[in-house]
Structure 1
Amino acid sequence: MAFNVIIQPSGHSFSMEADETILEAGLRHGFVLPYSCREGVCGTCKGRLLQGTVDYGKYDETYLTGAEKAEGLALFCTARPTSDLIIECREVSAVKDIPVRTMPCRVQKLERFDDVMVLYLKLPANERLMFLAGQYIDILIKGGKPRSFSLANAPHDDEFLQLHVRNIAGGEFTNLVFTKMKERDILRFKGPLGSFFLREDSTKPVVFVASGTGFAPIKSIIEHALHTGIQRPMHFYWGANTLSGLYMLEKARDWETHGIRFTPVLSEALATDEWQGRTGYVHEAVLADYPDLSGHQVYVCGAPVVVEAAHRDFTSLRGLPQEEFFSDAFTPASKT
């Protein structure tokens, strides 16, 4: 059975099948709604049902509470229609004309930083991937679930696609990367994906917050901004447990010479780290520095708990408008 969906306030409409999610159908028709995890565990795709009914699907109730459902909210990455719909959400027009492709690539180089492996992937001759700084790709695993990784290189620096892979205990793909993968191995991926990228139509100051390998898409965005000469004030906060978690610390410090403010934060610094910088949780460092975020844009990437805490506290305690919070939560893949 087919249903019709109207997006407000744009007035765009599309048809969809009952077995599709709203997000899947919108993407199929070229309408990009905000999204990240596509599994109901980050809240990026949350929007409002103005008319009609849905099957809400399977999701983490942390990101869609009963009270929010009662207010008409839904996660569009899991919700499927049971009637015609009118929905309210902002559309991401900047990615509409970028094709999502499935391509092979070759592992050109592996560079290890403690428990993070940086992969450099080479595309076939005469091929390039069009993407926006901050987007991600899915590595396709034969017989298993795709693994999502943000692109850490900026679009202008596209000789190789750069991925930052953390070694997660019990992770099937990360075990492959750290113990078996070698140069010249062939992988397949699908992308670019995601709506985490710098909104360049704004002139507001920007605060970036990353935890762990959430550094990767922030790196892409900042390098893109420096390359294109974007003049907006930018302040980057990078949080990790210990000093080794700030695996490209010197690169981030180098951005300071180009006008990017940088604040590294450690939550569990070791005595051997001899750390003299900020300590605690990374989003709390932002709270301490910014009593008012009402005139800013904020981009947060990393562990879901960091994204959730930043969204809650920045909007409720510091006046950040909901529509100026952008995030990409790194959710671990299931062992399939």
Structure 2
Amino acid sequence: MLRTVCHLETLHECAEHIWHVRLIPEQQIAYKPGQYLQVIMGEKDKRSFSIASSPTRGNVLELQIGATPGNPYPGQVLEALRTNGKIDIEMPLGNAYLREHSDRPILLIAGGTGYSYARSILQYLVDHQMPRRTYLYWGVRKADQLYEGEEVLNWASEFKNLTFVPVVQFPDDDWLGRAGLVHEAVLSDFHSFSQFDIYVAGRFEMAAVVRDALRHRDVQEEQLFGDAFNFI
């Protein structure tokens, strides 16, 4: 794990209370798709965020940060970026990175801004011409939180190996896609999970529900990848 300074390139709100950040590190640090970094607010205050970009995209690090009003954990990081134009980080961290030498199909299950983790893996696969059958199930509360849904649809149009299933928990009347909880959509679509590598990202509560549901469907631990599992 290495430490470097990252300079802010862009910061914009891509959906309500969700911010897309592009950083340029002073030192390029190798990492694997699906890993995360820590923003160093103090020596005893390090805050973890998934890297939303692929190492194939050059010396840039992207983050997608959900920051609702009154939540200081992400809010203070965004304020530091706005004020100082730079942050100190440590990386790479995490063991839930893409197993790129596996030949098993990939099942990505993301909740909310957990998509940022899936995005790193998807970008990597796209840049390698989507060599493996890949499914992305992205669950959100409301449809307008699918902040990069169009980009994923474009990838799915370009690469027949990619299937994208957005799932909205509280849909409006004009929503024509899947509704409900993301893990329930996954469970209803597959009779068996024995052939998959399964990657999960989202809030700890969501990750725990997904893990328990998959265990009841005889998914083995060596098939499941998610850094949240180390904390729940």
Q: What is the TM-score when the length of structure 2 is the normalising length?
A: 0.91
**Within 5 A, what are the aligned runs for 1:184-203?**
185-203=85-103
1:220 aligns with 2:104: no
Instruction: Tell me if the contact between 2:18 and 2:65 (Cα under 8 Å) persists in the aligned partners.
Output: yes
Q: Which residue does 1:277 correspond to in 2? A: 177
- The match for 1:323 among 219, 222, 230 is 222
Deviations 1:79-102 (A, max 9, x none): xxxxxxxxxxxxxxxxxxxxx101
Instruction: Tell me if the contact between 2:80 and 2:86 (Cα under 8 Å) persists in the aligned partners.
Output: no
- Kindly state the Cα deviation for residue 110 of structure 1 after the two structures are TM-superposed: 0.3
Identity %: 27
Q: Which residue does 1:253 correspond to in 2? A: 153
Q: Distance in 2 between matches of 1:261 and 1:191?
A: 30
- Kindly state the Cα deviation for residue 172 of structure 1 after the two structures are TM-superposed: 1.8
Q: Distance in 1 between matches of 2:43 and 2:58?
A: 29
Q: Which runs of 5+ in 1 are unaligned?
A: 1-99, 332-336
- Kindly state the Cα deviation for residue 162 of structure 1 after the two structures are TM-superposed: 0.3
Q: Which residue does 1:109 correspond to in 2? A: 10
**Within 5 A, what are the aligned runs for 1:9-48?**
none
Q: Which residue does 2:58 correspond to in 1? A: 158
Q: Distance in 1 between matches of 2:229 and 2:71?
A: 14
- Deviation above 3 Å: which 4+ runs of structure 1? 176-181
- Count how many residue pairs are aligned between Structure 1 and Structure 2: 228
**Within 5 A, what are the aligned runs for 1:226-245?**
226-245=126-145
Instruction: Tell me if the contact between 1:110 and 1:183 (Cα under 8 Å) persists in the aligned partners.
Output: no
Q: Which residue does 2:109 correspond to in 1? A: 209
Q: Distance in 1 between matches of 2:29 and 2:183?
A: 33
Q: What is the TM-score when the length of structure 1 is the normalising length?
A: 0.64
Q: Distance in 2 between matches of 1:314 and 1:186?
A: 40
Instruction: Tell me if the contact between 1:237 and 1:286 (Cα under 8 Å) persists in the aligned partners.
Output: yes
1:210 corresponds to which letter in structure 2? A
- Kindly state the Cα deviation for residue 169 of structure 1 after the two structures are TM-superposed: 3.7
- Kindly state the Cα deviation for residue 103 of structure 1 after the two structures are TM-superposed: 0.6
Deviations 1:92-150 (A, max 9, x none): xxxxxxxx1011111111021121111111122xx312000010000000365211001
Q: Distance in 2 between matches of 1:180 and 1:141?
A: 9
- The match for 2:189 among 273, 285, 289 is 289
Alpha-carbon RMSD:
2.1
Higher RCO, Cα 8 Å, sep 6+: 2
Instruction: Tell me if the contact between 2:207 and 2:229 (Cα under 8 Å) persists in the aligned partners.
Output: no
Q: Distance in 2 between matches of 1:320 and 1:330?
A: 14
2:170 corresponds to which letter in structure 1? E
Q: Which residue does 2:214 correspond to in 1? A: 314
Instruction: Tell me if the contact between 1:108 and 1:184 (Cα under 8 Å) persists in the aligned partners.
Output: no
Q: Distance in 1 between matches of 2:214 and 2:144?
A: 28
Larger radius of gyration: 1
Q: Distance in 2 between matches of 1:296 and 1:156?
A: 24
Q: Distance in 2 between matches of 1:180 and 1:188?
A: 10
1:324 corresponds to which letter in structure 2? Q
Instruction: Tell me if the contact between 2:80 and 2:87 (Cα under 8 Å) persists in the aligned partners.
Output: no
